[in-house]
Amino acid sequence: GQQLNQSPQSMFIQEGEDVSMNCTSSSIFNTWLWYKQDPGEGPVLLIALYKAGELTSNGRLTAQFGITRKDSFLNISASIPSDVGIYFCAGRRRIQFYFGTGTSLTVIP
């Protein structure tokens, strides 16, 4: 099925740095979601976005629903070691969910 274009594929950053990742699609979505997955576990929902232009924060995480409804970004401020994991974006159109290929984040203490 269709997958979203998520970038970067991987990131290696120093503890304390800010992180930015994004997802793009050629199609519009009604909902954008961001998940974090730890090794051997299922993805955990971080942020849900429902309207174009919406900006939502969850602690050090901030995500935005793009104005065109075809993209979204996730920012993590002041990264800490427990931010390590794979971050997935997902877009919903009607009943179907489409997933990005993931961004693997490594935080170096």
Partner 1 sequence: KAGVTQTPRYLIKTRGQQVTLSCSPISGHRSVSWYQQTPGQGLQFLFEYFSETQRNKGNFPGRFSGRQFSNSRSEMNVSTLELGDSALYLCASSPGTAGALAKNIQYFGAGTRLSVL
Cβ proximity to partner 1: between 26 and 41 the closer is 41
Reading the block at residue 85, the tokens are: 């994991």
Cβ proximity to partner 1: between 66 and 79 the closer is 66
Tell me the three state secondary structure of residue 65: strand
Q: How far apart (Å, rounded) are the C-alpha atoms in residues 97 and 84?
A: 24
Give the footprint of partner 1 on this chain (CB under 8 A).
Answer: 1, 3, 30-31, 33, 35, 40-45, 48, 50, 88, 90, 92, 94-97, 99-102
* Minimum CB distance to partner 1, residue 72 (Å): 14
* Tokens 């961001």 found at: 34
